[in-house]
Structure 1
Amino acid sequence: MLAIKNNLMAENAARHLGKSYDALAKSVERLSSGLRINSAKDDAAGLAVRELVRADIAVLRQGARNARDAVSMLQTAEGAMAVIDEILVRMRELAEQASTESYSGPQRSIMNYEFGQMAAEIDRIAKNTAFNEMKLLDEETETLQIHIGTQEMIDIVSDDMTAAGLAIGATKATGTYETWVADPDADWVTVTASGLLNITFADQEAIPDDYLIDVTFDSTFGGDGAYTMQEAADAINARSRAVRGYDAATVVQDNATGMYTIHIQAEEGGIWNITIAGDGALAAGSTIETAGNWNTANGSGTAVSIATAQSARTALDLVADAIKIKDGYRAQLGYLMNRLEAATSVIDIQAENLLAAESRISDVDVATETAALTRNQVLAQAGISMLGQANVMPQMALNLLG
């Protein structure tokens, strides 16, 4: 029907032109962004899946970076241990040289000085080897956990590579020492050690009078605070074996049931052990009444020296043991690096596969979308042409009126 009030053909052409224009705009948006899903209205379910996959990819990529950082950290530790390895070889060479008795005292002192300097350098390296301000080789190092994926962790168990940890310096002996005390004024035992000795006391109770322990130190106790231990010149009923090779001992105790700590500095060339023992009958007038069991965690507190041929022969075995300890931990670093590198490869593959899945969900198919763009361009051009023709129809009706 020919009409002049309502141009239905123009309305229809405009509606189709609008659809073609919207489709053309969508094709342009997808091709320009490279994404099939640019908003939730494009594909709500696909968008949800894509975001989850993207999160997993981000976690995996960060996990791979974590693993590579851990490898760098282990390489730092392993590099320091390579230097420690060279030092230990030199120390064993010096111990072998000093094991023979064909050297004079001054010559042996020179060897012993170098030996001590080598041990000190091991301490310096172990205590200063760090990654991101984290110590890697000293006694304070803890187990590190490396997170390498969404639910994956690898434990890096550290070890003490100081001279004490390698048992070639003053060691740290720790353990639990249970005491039963009859006289609260004095209650100590034989302690002969170099290094740091920690004794933790349990609840105390009285013991019979027929008890005797080896006595090396006398002490005074005046409540909380610090006090000093001194060598007993005439220890009553003490055994003849006394402490040798120490300069001084200081005890710090916060309270009667707290931590008991003794710091003893070894004389040059001394080799001696921690001993805690007790037997026999209590002597009259003795103020030392205690007994207990001692368990050391890090050896017997041996201070290594090559000042004598005998001590050098002992040092040979100790340095050999230190090399075994070092080799064991260095091997651990090696297989941890290999494991982390393998984990990194697996993570990279996982991230690649997830990226492919995310691409299939989210990326635009350029060929398909280009075809759609061409079709929509043609439809838009046709719509524009037809809209122009439809707008001419009312003018034809006016010609009839004229």
Structure 2
Amino acid sequence: MLAIKNNIMAANAARHLGQSYDALARSVERLSSGLRINSAKDDAAGLAVRELLRADIAVLNQAGRNAADGISMIQTGEGAMSEVDSILIRMKELAEQASTGSYSEGQRTIMNAEYTELSEEITRIAQSTDFNENQLLNSTTAIEIHVGTTDAITVTPKFMTATELSVGTTVATKETHVNKRTVAAAGDEYIAAAEITAAGTNPHLFSFQFGSEGTVELDLTAYATTGISLNLLVDEINQEVVDDTAGVRYAAATALYNSTYKSYSLQMQARNAGTDGGPFAITSTAGGGGIGILDNVDDFTETANGAAGTGNDLTTATGAQAALSTLDTAINLKDSYRAQLGYWMNRLETAQSVLGVQAENLLTSESRISDVDVATEMAEMTRTQVLAQAGVAMLAQANSMPQMALTLLR
């Protein structure tokens, strides 16, 4: 219908032209940004999935960087251990040189001076080797390397000073006194027989430890049947049986034990001696025979005394030969920790590689959801360009229709 007031064809052409321009603008935005989803209206569900994937990718990328930092940290410790390795080899060379009888005391003194300096250098290296204030050779505090939201690889440093390696030239002494403790005997008042055992924190076992080196263990059991017998697995001890005024026999024992381990000396006396200061417990269990048990035991005092030991000394051939054995142990300890550093490094490198693959796979998934297909979008843009051009031409034609009506009115 030819009309003057309302140009329906022009309105229709304008509407289609607007749609074409909107589609063209969307194609230009996608091609210029490289993303198929630029806002939630483009694909609401796809946008939600994409953002979750992006968060996971960011975590994996950071985990990979964490692994790389962990590798750098371990490389720092391993580099320091390499220097300790060289020092220990030189120290063993000096000990071997001082072991022979062809050198004078003065010459051995010079060798011992170098040995002492090298020992102090090991301690200096151990105390100064750190990564971001994390001690690597002078601590046992575990360091967790996070390689994912919930995953971590734990690196446990060790003490690698000259003292811990037992290659120092002095031994520290320390004396302690343990306060008195009251001990109560537990058991039936009259039983057939009794086995009474004094124990520390671990029943039947007394353990004395110096730093991380040297342990002496004492296993003590006493049995009273017709008389009294006391067995000590580490060394024999004195024993005696005493009678009270009523003629009842009781067992009493005194133990004296001396032990040497790597130039450390230990003396234990009386029922028990220890360095941990823990309480003691006396327990009774039934056997066969007849004996009365007192319910209370007098207070007693526990003491621990440390005496000065001897460190590695190359001023004598005997001391130098002893140092050789100590150095073998130190080298084994060093090699063991250095091997640990190696497999921690290998594990972190593997984790870093796996994290890279995981991030790549998630990035591929995110790309499929979010990235624009350039070929498809270019085809769409070309189509909308043609439609827009046609819309402009048709809108011009539609706008000229009222002029035809005016011609009829003349």
Scaled by the length of structure 2, the TM-score of the pair is 0.70
Shift of 1:310: 1.8
User: Cα gap change, 1:69/1:198 in structure 2, threshold over 3 Å: closer, same or farther?
Assistant: farther
1:319 and 2:341 aligned: no
Other-structure match for 2:251? none
Match for 2:268 among 260, 277, 281? 277
Name which of structure 1's ranges 328-337 and 196-205 shifts more when overlaid on structure 2: 196-205
Other-structure match for 1:385? 393
Other-structure match for 1:61? 61
Runs (4+) off by over 3 Å: 196-203, 289-294
The one-letter code matched in structure 2 to 1:53 is: L
In structure 2, distance between residues paired with 1:202 and 1:361: 73
1:316 match: secondary structure: helix
Matches within 5 A, 1:6-155: 6-138=6-138, 140-155=139-154
In structure 2, distance between residues paired with 1:392 and 1:302: 115
2:32 match: secondary structure: helix
In structure 1, distance between residues paired with 2:135 and 2:376: 57
In structure 2, distance between residues paired with 1:389 and 1:301: 112
Give the count of matched residue pairs.
305
Name which of structure 1's ranges 94-103 and 25-34 shifts more when overlaid on structure 2: 94-103
Contact 1:306/1:315 (8 A) holds in 2: yes
Q: Which has the higher strand share?
A: 2
Shift of 1:196: 6.2
Contact 1:167/1:302 (8 A) holds in 2: no
Shift of 1:274: 4.3
Contact 1:168/1:318 (8 A) holds in 2: yes
Cα distance per residue 1:212-249 (max 9 Å; x no partner): xxxxxxxxxxxxxxxxxxxxxxxxxxxxxxxxxxxxxx
Cα distance per residue 1:337-377 (max 9 Å; x no partner): 11111111111111111110000000000000000000000
| Structure 1 stretches lacking a partner, 5+ long | 172-193, 208-270, 281-288
2:398 match: secondary structure: helix
Shift of 1:279: 3.1
User: Cα gap change, 1:32/1:196 in structure 2, threshold over 3 Å: closer, same or farther?
Assistant: farther
Shift of 1:90: 0.8
2:154 match: secondary structure: strand
Cα distance per residue 1:91-119 (max 9 Å; x no partner): 11111122223322111111111111110
Contact 1:76/1:129 (8 A) holds in 2: yes
In structure 1, distance between residues paired with 2:10 and 2:100: 115
The Cα RMSD (Å) is 2.5
In structure 2, distance between residues paired with 1:198 and 1:74: 38
Shift of 1:170: 6.8
In structure 2, distance between residues paired with 1:12 and 1:200: 104
User: Cα gap change, 1:106/1:302 in structure 2, threshold over 3 Å: closer, same or farther?
Assistant: closer
1:340 and 2:348 aligned: yes
User: Cα gap change, 1:305/1:359 in structure 2, threshold over 3 Å: closer, same or farther?
Assistant: same
| Structure 2 stretches lacking a partner, 5+ long | 185-261, 272-298
Contact 1:56/1:150 (8 A) holds in 2: no
In structure 2, distance between residues paired with 1:37 and 1:326: 57
Matches within 5 A, 1:371-382: 371-382=379-390
1:277 match: secondary structure: strand
Other-structure match for 1:306? 314
In structure 2, distance between residues paired with 1:373 and 1:78: 59
1:150 match: secondary structure: coil
Match for 2:403 among 385, 395, 398? 395
The one-letter code matched in structure 1 to 2:27 is: S
Contact 2:31/2:377 (8 A) holds in 1: yes
Contact 2:35/2:371 (8 A) holds in 1: yes
1:362 and 2:370 aligned: yes
In structure 1, distance between residues paired with 2:339 and 2:176: 34
User: Cα gap change, 1:48/1:104 in structure 2, threshold over 3 Å: closer, same or farther?
Assistant: same
Other-structure match for 2:242? none
The one-letter code matched in structure 2 to 1:381 is: Q
In structure 1, distance between residues paired with 2:142 and 2:117: 29
Other-structure match for 1:284? none
The one-letter code matched in structure 2 to 1:157 is: T
1:275 match: secondary structure: strand
Other-structure match for 1:204? 181
1:162 and 2:165 aligned: no
User: Cα gap change, 1:12/1:308 in structure 2, threshold over 3 Å: closer, same or farther?
Assistant: same
Contact 1:30/1:38 (8 A) holds in 2: yes
Name which of structure 1's ranges 98-107 and 387-396 shifts more when overlaid on structure 2: 98-107
Contact 1:16/1:383 (8 A) holds in 2: yes
In structure 2, distance between residues paired with 1:153 and 1:371: 49
User: Cα gap change, 1:41/1:301 in structure 2, threshold over 3 Å: closer, same or farther?
Assistant: farther
Shift of 1:198: 8.2
The one-letter code matched in structure 2 to 1:165 is: E
Shift of 1:74: 0.9
The one-letter code matched in structure 1 to 2:47 is: L
In structure 2, distance between residues paired with 1:17 and 1:290: 105
Shift of 1:149: 1.8
User: Cα gap change, 1:40/1:276 in structure 2, threshold over 3 Å: closer, same or farther?
Assistant: farther
In structure 2, distance between residues paired with 1:395 and 1:88: 107
In structure 2, distance between residues paired with 1:279 and 1:43: 84
User: Cα gap change, 1:332/1:200 in structure 2, threshold over 3 Å: closer, same or farther?
Assistant: farther
Scaled by the length of structure 1, the TM-score of the pair is 0.71
Contact 2:179/2:302 (8 A) holds in 1: no
**Seq. identity, %:** 59
